[in-house]
Amino acid sequence: MKVMKFGGTSVGKPHRMHEVANLITKDNEDKIVVLSAVSGTTNSLVEIGNFLSANNKAEAKTKIDALEAQYRSFIKELVATPEALQKAEDVLKEHFEFLNIILRISYNEALNKDILAQGELLSTKLFSIYLGEKGIDHALLPALDFMSIDANDEPQVEAIREKIKTALAQHPGKKLFITQGYICRNAKGEVDNLKRGGSDYSASLIAAAIKASVCEIWTDISGMHNNDPRVVNKTIPIEQLSFDEAAELAYFGAKILHPASIWPAQQYNIPVKLLNTMEPEAKGTIIVEKAASVGVKAVAAKDSITAVNIRSSRMLLAYGFLRRVFEIFEKYRTPIDMITTSEVAVSVTIDNDASLTEIVRELESFSTVGVDKGQTIICIVGNEIAAHPDTLKKVFESLQNVDVRMVSYGGSAHNISLLVDSAQKTDVLKGLNSGLFGLN
Ligand code: ASP
Ligand code: MG
């Protein structure tokens, strides 16, 4: 059995949904198809939630009506027969009535999660109606019956496995299942989600739970590329990556894959393929246990990073200093990405600065603190690159005229990270594209 996940743009237009139906019926392998919401829908639902939380019901209503109008025209192109159209209209009625009822209830966080869940519920139900019209045998598998997170908001593959087994067993003989990405139930049994972009994570968790032969992530570009195509002129697709390499790239800026989606696949050793719905024949990228080769594979950039420099003469020859520093970040549940130290100072980077003021205040009780916002982490990824002294030399040769604020080298064998001011990101990515890959 395999898992195929289609992102928002892959189901974003009626004709794209038609194409998805072709792609999932190309081979005879049993499969679970995971769908995102139609592109733009989750953003609209977020806005609706924001208007409601600000008690702006009029704007929320306008937004709900606009979304409904959009879906009304969507279904007219999606299906052809009056029977299917009627079914699709019934689905819209159910979900938009729900949103309109919410308008009249007082807003709370749990209700907001219900609002956010509407996108994936709509896309899967409408797609199922289209499949039915085409006579493609399948079953709709409600993700809320099996996808769950624990009290720490963490999904547990074993728990999901048990529930998905039960859900699948209700459809003996079926070979094709359609389910929602992103949505789940939390420890209280309420509707919740795996955070924005979480459909990839759903796919990977399902693939791990059913021990799938492969987890295919279908998007609108042909796999991971060696550099950011929005910044540099020329990029090349990467045919094969190891889980470790892919995890670094996904975390440090390669937008194609949700970073959390690597671990379930890696833990249960399920190959992940990144494929393109617009160009289904393209090879894409396969992510497996072993790296294909030694050497630099790609660079990626992560913006909106804050660097915090913590300086204290007490650090000199002292132990326990770093623990005190880390405890403060831990207390405010703020992950640290990069760290560099000297004898009297330590610099760390964070991408979530929600608690920055409190963190700085506590650090200042025993050190002098400097904060630099607007930084970018440039991550250079490849198998065993840290073992090749040549890589570091080439990196710095490519970066003439760049002020490198921090360097992290040797933490893992397949990553070198640099911190630069975001204003220099373009120069750095372009410099590395020519210096490391010979591309312009
Ligand atoms: N629809 C959700 C989002 O836009 C989840 C996803 O598409 O991965 O974030
Ligand atoms: Mg996505």
Residues 351 and 216 in one domain: no
Decide whether any atom of ligand 1 lies within 6 Å of the 12 Cβ: no
Task: List, for residues 41-100, the tens digit of each pLDDT value.
Answer: 999 999 999 999 999 999 999 999 999 999 999 999 999 999 999 999 999 999 999 999
Ligand 2 centroid vs 9 CA: distance in angstroms?
A: 9
Here the CATH number for the domain that contains residue 384 is 3.30.2130.10
Any domain includes 280 = no
Last residue of a domain, one of 170, 196, 220: 220
> Distance between CA 402 and CA 421 in Å, rounded?
9
Count of the separate structural domains present in the chain: 2
Average pLDDT, the chain: 95
Any domain includes 13 = yes
What percent of the chain has a predicted confidence (pLDDT) above 90? 85
Task: List, for residues 219-255, the tens digit of each pLDDT value.
Answer: 988 899 999 988 999 999 999 999 999 998 888 877 7
Last residue of a domain, one of 162, 193, 220: 220
Any domain includes 104 = yes
Last residue of a domain, one of 189, 204, 220: 220
Any domain includes 70 = yes
Query: Distance from CA of residue 189 to its chain's centroid?
Result: 24
> Distance between CA 3 and CA 214 in Å, rounded?
6
Ligand 1 centroid vs 198 CA: distance in angstroms?
A: 6
12 pLDDT more than 90: yes
Residues 211 and 105 in one domain: yes
**Nearest listed ligand to the Cα of residue 202:** 1
Any domain includes 150 = yes
Any domain includes 247 = no
Any domain includes 292 = no
- What is the structure's pLDDT at 295? 87
Burial class (CB in 10 A: 0-12, 13-18, 19+), 186: middle
Residues 205 and 307 in one domain: no
163 pLDDT more than 70: yes
User: Which stretch, 309-318, 366-375, 402-411, has highest mean pLDDT?
Assistant: 366-375
Q: Sorting pLDDT into bands at 50, 70 and 90, what band is 342?
A: confident
Any domain includes 234 = no
Q: Sorting pLDDT into bands at 50, 70 and 90, what band is 317?
A: low
Decide whether any atom of ligand 1 lies within 6 Å of the 196 Cβ: yes
Q: Sorting pLDDT into bands at 50, 70 and 90, what band is 125?
A: very high
| Mean predicted confidence (pLDDT) in 422-435 | 96
Among 194, 196, 258, which is best to mutate for testing ligand 1, by the most ligand atoms less than 8 A from CB? 196
Containing structural domain, residue 345: 297-437
Burial code (b: 16+ CB inside 10 Å, e: under 16) for 87-113 equals: bbbebbeebbeebeebeeeebeeebbb
Written as six digits, the tokens of 258 are 């949700």
